[in-house]
Each structure stands twice: as C-alpha cells, then as structure tokens.
Amino acid sequence: MTITAPRRSGTVLAWLIYAAQWVASVVLALLAITSVFMTDSCGSVADEPAVCDTGYFGAVLIGYWIGLAALLVLVPIGIVHASRRGRSTALRALAGIVVAAVMTILFVVLMTR
C-alpha cells in the first residue's frame, strides 16, 4: 500500500511568488508618484507633454494603483481556486507578475507621451 502525499511544493511556490508580487507592487506604487519627473519639466512651450495635464496625470496614476490593487486581490483567488481544482498554482502567481509588468510598461508609456 502506498500513500501519496498531496503536492504542496507548487502551492508554497505560488504563495512565495505572490509575496514577491505584493512587495514589488508596493514599491512600484510608491515609485509611480515620481513618474512626473519622467518627462521634461512643464513650461510654457506650445507642445507640453500629456503628463503636464494634472487630470491626465491623476487618472493614469490612480488607474495604475487600482490595477495593482486588483491584482493583489485576484491572484490569491486564482491560487486558491487552482489549488482546489488540482491545477498549477504557480502559473496563476506568475501570471500576476507578468500582468503587473505589462501594466508597468503601459504606465511608463502613458507617462512619457
């Protein structure tokens, strides 16, 4: 008679990846405030960067923060759901990191317009 132990290493790895995502999200959210310095200073030139519009800057910054927060809620739900179904939990955690990276790239592109 053989007894098979449940696969816990993938779940532990997924939670470790999620913890790294959480730390990275907090750091990125704080660094995003300094994104106003990504472009030339706003002056009296006719062709000012879009970031000089405070409404645009605020909307992109708040949208980025909401996106990061949404990932911090959705990824653990995905990990638990995958764990209960016996599917790969690490893929859900890695997907959270990838989506956060894509959101960060999009954020930088929008701020440097």
As a whole number of Å, the CA-based R_g of the chain is: 19
Owner of token pair 């009296």: 44
pLDDT digit string (tens) for 16-61? 999 999 999 999 988 888 876 766 667 666 666 666 778 888 898 8
| Residue 76: per-residue pLDDT | 94
| Residue range(s) defining the domain that contains residue 84 | 25-38+48-111
Does 82 fall in a domain? yes
What total number of domains does the chain contain? 1
Does 105 fall in a domain? yes
Question: Which pLDDT band, with edges at 50, 70 and 90, does 5 fall under?
Answer: very low
Does 16 fall in a domain? no
Does 70 fall in a domain? yes
Q: Which range, of 11-20, 28-37, 78-87, averages the lowest pLDDT?
A: 28-37
Does 19 fall in a domain? no
Dist. CA 35–CA 57, nearest whole Å: 9
